[in-house]
Amino acid sequence: MELTMLGTAAGRPAEGRNVTAAALTMPPQRGTFWLFDCGEGTQHQLLRAGMKLCKLERIFVTHLHGDHVFGLPGLLGSRSSMGCDAPLTLHGPRGIRHWLETTFSITGAHVHYELEIREIDGDGGVVHEDDQFTVKAAPLNHRIACYGYRIEERPRPGRLDAAKLAELGVPQGPLYAQLKRGEDATLQDGRVIRAADVVGPPIPGRVIAILGDTTPCDAAIRLAEGADLVVHEATFEAALAGKAAEYGHSTTAEAARTARDARAARLLLTHFSGRYRDEDLPRLEAEAREVFPSSAAARDFLNVQLPHKRRT
């Protein structure tokens, strides 16, 4: 898995930075990716990143401010005109269905694949679950309804104790796979081999928190708790905390405190105000690192690898 930052600017595009979007490439066996927010020009960013719209499986929108959604109608329409027929699910705050349906209606646009829109309301909760991942949403503290997302991968089976299996006379083959799945196995002589006796503890899955626009709040910390990677807006530098609060945003230091308090592993700062140029990013990154050393400032097309946790 890897996360590709497609847009790291706040409010409007800046030179070298597009507005908010990020793509999460799923495990190879799925062959798909998920999109988080879709600011204007996101489909152009996907083209530059070499990511194919037909591989897009889900879109998660944090809130309905234009710099996070104005790319949606065009992207959805392009996916249809390209002949993509795979279903697509869109998750977002209440109102996103009405906005899209109105836009499609008055522009005469058509989507020919199955598009499911799932609106999120209130306290959020589990918004998606499959055999590999659970996605949870929670409301943040912004000027309009805004959600953050926590993507949790299910644990992987622990390591088989091959030496113990050989000692017990378990033949290699289907019984090994059965035990690996956590199922007890019965040998030909009638002995029952308990999976708990020959399989190590489960290996925790990866956790990514992708937060929308917000001032510091408890919900952000809960979503980021123990995460391998937290993507957090840092619209302003630390000295502009008052301005950040006025507009419903966070500073570099505030984002870092959220990651620190959540005991996260890494923090990726994004959503930078247009007042900052690329040469300012090392300074903004340094401010966050004073609070949380494992902080980095994102740039457009940055790829962040998300390796599996290791077996112990």
Known binding-site residue numbers for Zn(2+): 63, 65, 67-68, 142, 213, 271
Catalytic-role residue among 67, 123, 184, 218: 67
Q: Name residue 120's beta-bridge partners.
A: 93
Report how far apart, in Å, the C-alpha atoms of 163 and of each of 103, 180, 181, 197, 269 are: 63, 14, 18, 12, 46
User: Of 75, 170, 68, 164, which is closest to residue 113 (Cα–Cα)?
Assistant: 75
> What span, in angstroms and rounded, lies between the C-alpha atoms of 19 and 3?
16
Distance CA 50, CA 80 (A): 18
Compute, in degrees rounded to 10, the torsion defined by CA atoms 94, 125, 234, 25: -90
State yes or no: is 67 an active-site residue. yes
CB burial readout 114-132, b (16+ within 10 A) else e: ebeeeebeeebeebbeeee
Per the CB < 8 A criterion, the answer to whether 219 and 202 are in contact is no
Q: Which value, in Å, is the radius of gyration of the alpha carbons in the chain?
A: 22
| Residue numbers belonging to the annotated binding site | 63, 65, 67-68, 142, 213, 271
Catalytic residues: 67
